[in-house]
Structure 1
Amino acid sequence: MQTIRVMRFLSPSKSRFPIHFFSSTPSSNSPHLLLSVGHVLRFSRRFMDQDVACFAEVTGDYNPVHLDSEFAKGVGGFDRGRVVHGMLVASLFPSIIASNFPGAVYVSQDLKFKLPVYVGDEVAAEVQAINIRQIKKRFIVKFTTKCFTNEFHPAVDGEAVAVLPTLNLTK
């Protein structure tokens, strides 16, 4: 038997974004988690200088709009300074899915970058299941994906598909 608990937290920074973690206490033979169409999973975090610097190092994306505040404000046209790499922000989506469904394989993601996320901004990311198909013992799930800035403005929007081998359906 599996018990699912939904816990609601505020981040240490007293965020206005509630963080919902879904945890389970699975039996020894059932590590699966529950999901149904309409179910939303959320996570929030603040991207800081070190996050942006590490991402630039790993990816080789040294665009000065991410690393040089004066360049970002002047040539880049970003009033508040340096912006977080869009793909770093979007990396929250597979993180949410994989942390809730061990063994998940992220197979596609469509993204629209609507607004910049500035270094130091808190970002709330959410994925919502919109379609679930079962193929043999695995599930293919389509999600809407959204990130909001700390002013609740939509920054990133899209859809993703993931294969979830550790899923149980709920009605």
Structure 2
Amino acid sequence: MLIRSLLFGSVPPLRCFSSSAHNILKTGDILKETRVFTDEDVLEYSKVSHDSNPLHFNSELARKAGFEDRLVHGMLVAALFPRIISSHFPGAVYVSQSLNFRLPIYIGDKVSGEVQVISLKENKKKYLVKFKTKCIRNDELLVLDGEAMAILPSLAVEGVRSLD
């Protein structure tokens, strides 16, 4: 119901990029962002989410549980996906996300988040876009993957071609 109201509603389109006539987001295009999660990120996320699992704060306990060190919250890492999309398409509405947590992410790891366009459907000057999502730890290990859906304002896809 929410998707239907967003697609058929009367939200005005947003212009997000300077347009160059033939540049349009297409299937296969990729958006990326890399970041390192810090102690402060984990602490702040814990405050907001009320997730105070000791595996995020106690190195000794994390090691006893079989991990190398303290863990970054999986949902904090997954928050890279809507951030990537909304930074390229202000006004985007994040509709859904599936997640597969493959490996742990440790404080200080470099994490590269990536969203790749799987499909685009236009309806009433808006686009429903399906993305394949993944995070890679330290340039080599797949730690998180899944799929996401977002509704992009109609003019947001103009002016975008090479997204790497």
Task: Decide: shared fold, TM above 0.5.
Answer: yes
> Structure 1 residues 138 and 117 mapped into 2: Cα distance closer, same or farther (>3 Å)?
same
Q: Secondary structure at the match of 2:132?
A: strand
Q: Secondary structure at the match of 1:111?
A: strand
Q: Secondary structure at the match of 1:35?
A: coil
Letter in 2 for 1:88: L
2:109 maps to which of 121, 145, 150: 121
Residue 71 (structure 1) aligns with: 61
The structural deviation recorded for 1:168 is 3.0
Residue 149 (structure 2) aligns with: 161
List alignment gaps of at least 5 residues for structure 2: 1-15
Residue 4 (structure 1) aligns with: none
Structure 2 CA distance, aligned partners of 1:119 and 1:107?
29
Question: 2:97 matched to 1:109?
Answer: yes
Relative to its length, the structure with more helix (as a share) is 2
2:31 maps to which of 41, 48, 62: 41
Structure 1 CA distance, aligned partners of 2:101 and 2:112?
15
Cα RMSD for the two superposed structures = 2.0
Work out which structure has the larger RCO, using CA pairs closer than 8 Å and 6 or more positions apart in sequence. 2
Q: Does the 8 Å CA contact 1:46/1:122 hold for their aligned counterparts?
A: yes
Q: How many residues align?
A: 142
Structure 1 CA distance, aligned partners of 2:69 and 2:148?
30
Question: 2:139 matched to 1:141?
Answer: no
Relative to its length, the structure with more strand (as a share) is 1
Q: Does the 8 Å CA contact 1:36/1:169 hold for their aligned counterparts?
A: no
Question: 2:51 matched to 1:53?
Answer: no
List alignment gaps of at least 5 residues for structure 1: 1-23
TM-score calculated relative to the size of structure 2: 0.81
Deviation readout 1:82-106 (Å, 9 max, x if unpaired): 0100000000000000000010000
Residue 96 (structure 1) aligns with: 84
Q: Secondary structure at the match of 2:151?
A: strand
Structure 1 CA distance, aligned partners of 2:94 and 2:17?
24
